[in-house]
Amino acid sequence: MQGKTIAFLAAPEGVEQIELLDPWKAVKQAGGTPRLISTDSGSIQGFNHLDKGDAFAVDATVDEVSAADFDALVLPGGVANPDLLRTNPQAVQFVRDFFDSGKPVAAICHAPWTLIEADVVRDRTLTSWPSLQTDLRNAGATWVDKEVVVDTKGPGTLVTSRKPDDLKAFCDAMVEAVT
């Protein structure tokens, strides 16, 4: 991953803090450069489940960058984060552009809601927080209950995991997909 730049897309509020920080650290430890992208400038508010966590400075907004600027995309979860992202057309297009260009994408927990909105899960196998399985199946995906799923059937590699307890496997698979 040395020398690669990885976009982390998060809404201004609602990102699950550990699902942002652990992959961020994994990217840095592997020699990559993580960049925080959001729909608004300034900072985003992290959450530890339902409790406010730390604030994180945004590097750029989705209207200032494109998928071409990055080597891969990470979508952290949290319930509110992907729900807010999927209502923003620029954020949805940003995600779709990574798939269209065949670049790796990693999504954990509730983050596949944004993938559903981007219409990129059809005929792919993935996992997520269990409550999303019907949404994913209705969008044409095959949902499985596994710690981490690496799908290479479509353009680019898609790495998904279910929850914070899966972060070690998620981070390892994400780094491998980008390397």
pLDDT of residue 45 exceeding 80 = yes
Closest CA relative to residue 161, chosen from 140, 137, 141, 145: 145
Q: Which of 7, 10, 58, 109 is catalytic?
A: 109
**pTM more than 0.85:** yes
pLDDT bracket for residue 154 (50, 70, 90):
confident
Residues 1/179, Cβ–Cβ less than 8 Å: yes
**In this structure, which long-range contacts are made by residues 117-123, counting pairs with CB atoms below 8 Å and at least 24 apart in sequence?**
117/85, 117/86, 117/92, 118/92, 118/93, 120/95, 120/96, 120/154, 123/153, 123/154
Average pLDDT rounded to a whole number, residues 49-69: 96
> Mean pLDDT, the chain, as a whole number?
97
Average pLDDT rounded to a whole number, residues 35-57: 96
In tens, the pLDDT along 9-27 reads 999 999 999 999 999 999 9
Residue 175 contacts by C-beta under 8 Å, 6 or more apart in sequence?
1, 26, 27, 30
pLDDT bracket for residue 44 (50, 70, 90):
very high
Average pLDDT rounded to a whole number, residues 106-133: 97
Q: Which of 110, 124, 162, 163 is catalytic?
A: 110
10 Å CB burial of residue 123 (0-12, 13-18, 19+) is exposed
Active site residue 109: yes
What is the pLDDT at residue 120?
A: 97
Average pLDDT rounded to a whole number, residues 123-132: 97
Active site residue 110: yes
- Name the 3-class secondary structure at 140: coil
What is the pLDDT at residue 113?
A: 97
Average pLDDT rounded to a whole number, residues 34-48: 97
Distance from C-alpha of 3 to C-alpha of 111, rounded to nearest angstrom: 26
Average pLDDT rounded to a whole number, residues 144-155: 94
CATH code for the domain defined by 5-178:
3.40.50.880
Residues 148/173, Cβ–Cβ less than 8 Å: yes
